[in-house]
Structure 1
């Protein structure tokens, strides 16, 4: 594994994959600093597994990990593990999820090639005002109870309000939940309105903060990806926004580790 990490470090540092600092959080420069959505031809790489692909996100396994703050989406036996740190209000996370590497990663998940560990932060609320991130993370946790986390997660980023607008209100979250078949129910609606999973929201934010650079408590910035234990450096996280480049990176990370 150490050899694989050294190989990835060398490739990323060389600039062959392309890089730009684009994130929310410490040193946040905003999407404009890294350019707009970039086009690419990335896919799920050349490798494939023999299992039949999941037909869609509705069919992908998902659960809360034992740490109580991580949501695991995908085949638990998938060889690749990608940990993602995101905030529902982060505009760069939206770019990643809708037009960057997110759709590529989804293909890997559907093909049993990768599983994703989500740590959903809410640090943007105190910075921007409001409670939209916390409310959205709570709603995502409620969706998980109905096996709809991945689908709802996609819907929220597709319909993300402007960063400075505290748009993830209870009413809006419930309205968006209507776009996910089978998600709305009296129990789900009540969980959203009552912040039933406040403990999960706090635990996820604490886990995000503890993952800061050098063991600090500011968090690593969002989006941050850790691929098979290798954290993409903040100065290179622009590769997350180019589907072609991100696809190449996943293929490299999926290579031999010895």
Structure 2
């Protein structure tokens, strides 16, 4: 049996419809290309190291002190602007912040434009292989800070958050290795002993837990007590005005 012949005759798509579809496709392609361009431009901007080559704060007039609340205060005397930075020593985003903006921060500290209050927390202890790396790293920071040498502390802090920062879940530094990093930054034997003995472990844990109260995430940056957007590429220079 033969199939019945259809009476429907396909009609060609009009040129007007073809142009409309082509126009829609072009708009979609342009939108995608534009979005990729903006995303790539934003990514490259956020990954550009600010003031590359300056290094950590190195003016001998820069001092460091361990405040009663556990804040580590780096700067020159009588500075008008205070930048407060909340960080976890194992936090990758904190490491990124230091890699991108650390040298720019250092120059403004050397110029006496800002002082920095580092508030170190231990959110990521459980994410470290030793299960207590963040706390021990906070203790090591306190050992270096209480010696009072600003440039030494600045270099130690830079090393710990950049080239010497462990990965979450991977091997981390034991106390001897933390002491070796401190000595690489210029710290003396008394500081190294403070770190290897773990003498500041309890105070560091208490300070870290106090700093973490009400804190939503790390890194967080406050300028004169007000939280700012640290993804703004000019935030350091704005803070120093």
Return the TM-score normalized by structure 2: 0.70
Q: Shift of residue 63 of structure 1?
A: 0.5
2:226 is aligned with 1:230 = yes
Structure possessing the higher radius of gyration over alpha carbons: 2
RMSD: 2.7
Q: How does 1:54-65 map to 2 (within 5 A)?
A: 56=58, 59-65=61-67
Q: Shift of residue 145 of structure 1?
A: 2.9
Do 1:75 and 1:112's aligned partners in 2 also have CA atoms closer than 8 Å? yes
Q: How does 1:1-258 map to 2 (within 5 A)?
A: 35=43, 38-39=47-48, 56=58, 59-67=61-69, 69-98=70-99, 100-129=100-129, 130-146=131-147, 147=149, 148-157=152-161, 158-181=163-186, 183-185=187-189, 187-210=190-213, 212=214, 219-232=215-228, 236-239=229-232, 245=233, 248-255=234-241
Within 2, Cα distance between the matches of 1:105 and 1:121?
Answer: 20
5+ unaligned residues in a row in structure 2: which ranges? 1-38
Do 1:57 and 1:151's aligned partners in 2 also have CA atoms closer than 8 Å? no
Helix, strand or coil for the counterpart of 1:85? strand
Within 2, Cα distance between the matches of 1:55 and 1:74?
Answer: 9
Q: Shift of residue 57 of structure 1?
A: 5.5
The structure whose RCO (Cα within 8 Å, separation 6+) is larger is 1
Within 2, Cα distance between the matches of 1:116 and 1:77?
Answer: 12
Number of aligned pairs? Answer: 192
Do 2:127 and 2:169's aligned partners in 1 also have CA atoms closer than 8 Å? no
